[in-house]
Amino acid sequence: MIVLSSVSKWYPNGARPALIDVSAEIGAGEFVFLVGPSGSGKSTLLRLLLREERATGGRVIVAGRDVARIPDRRVPQLRRIVGCVFQDFRLLPNRTVAANVAFALDVVGRPRHVVRSVVPEVLELVGLGGKADRYPDELSGGEQQRVAIARAFVGRPRVLLADEPTGNLDPATSTEIMSLLDAVHRAGTTVIMATHNASLVDAMRRRVLELGDGALIRDEAGGRYDQTVPQPVAPSAPPPVVVPAQPTGTAPDGERSPWATPARSGPVG
């Protein structure tokens, strides 16, 4: 789904590159944590995937396309298969929850009957079925992030990028958002989540890409937030945090995710 080969990014006037020679391959349907200290290049990498920036060296390939070579007028097409959520939610304050989600379909010209049927479904899936007519400032942070996820997911992107989606949320809410993203992933979406939340990464034990000063310094399947030092299970090691609280209506692990249940979905993306 995503191939990075020797990707480098220099910003104009930058003293050092934001990314140096990053190579990685992310398959369709994978879930990947992107970790590393602030300024290590996580956001730059996500911006490259969205073609908000172009790599200065190497190639970024998304869904078989060399992103840097997509002509400007085709970039919207890329962004329809790459959804995105952010730390600050980025909802429109003057629109209701349902209107915020519908906006994403309206502006890509989806027919009205599609919008009318899909929006309530997606709101139900993110656990906001009863709050369709609320405005963002009437919602908690976690609920706002659910709206943002619904908006990113409603167009059925094949890749979902999450840039520190739990950065503004308390631990319990973060866990809820995490399981929502996990559900999106189980519905077949490739998810890349940049995060500083060590306990989530440690609990999920998914593939971890770690950036340091723009270089890829770790690519570990089932990794933790910090470099796993090969060691026997020591009594001092922190107990892994289990993701307990599923959002209301979410099936427990092992069962089919609510994201996959609607008969409509067909091939996702």
Q: Which residues bind other proteins (CB under 8 A)?
A: 50, 63-65, 72-74, 76-81, 83-84, 90, 92, 94, 102-104, 106-112, 151-152, 155, 158, 267, 269
Q: Which two tokens stand for residue 38?
A: 């602030």
- Burial of 16 from C-beta contacts in 10 A (0-12 / 13-18 / 19+): exposed
Closer CB to other proteins, 63 or 260, in the complex = 63
Q: Which two tokens stand for residue 189?
A: 């979406």
In the complex, the smallest distance separating the C-beta of residue 166 from other proteins, rounded to whole angstroms, is 19
In the complex, the smallest distance separating the C-beta of residue 106 from other proteins, rounded to whole angstroms, is 4
In the complex, the smallest distance separating the C-beta of residue 190 from other proteins, rounded to whole angstroms, is 13
Closer CB to other proteins, 20 or 152, in the complex = 152
Closer CB to other proteins, 1 or 208, in the complex = 1
Token look-up 């969205």 returns 50
In the complex, the smallest distance separating the C-beta of residue 125 from other proteins, rounded to whole angstroms, is 18
Dihedral over Cα of 11, 20, 197, 29: its sign? positive
Per-residue burial over 25-49, b = 16 or more CB atoms within 10 Å of its CB, e = otherwise: ebeeebbbbbbbeeebbbbbbbbbb
Whole-number Å distance between alpha carbons of 176 and 227: 25
Nearest residue to 128 via CA among 178, 171, 180, 169? 180
Closer CB to other proteins, 66 or 253, in the complex = 66
Token look-up 């200065």 returns 56
In the complex, the smallest distance separating the C-beta of residue 217 from other proteins, rounded to whole angstroms, is 29
Closer CB to other proteins, 11 or 240, in the complex = 11
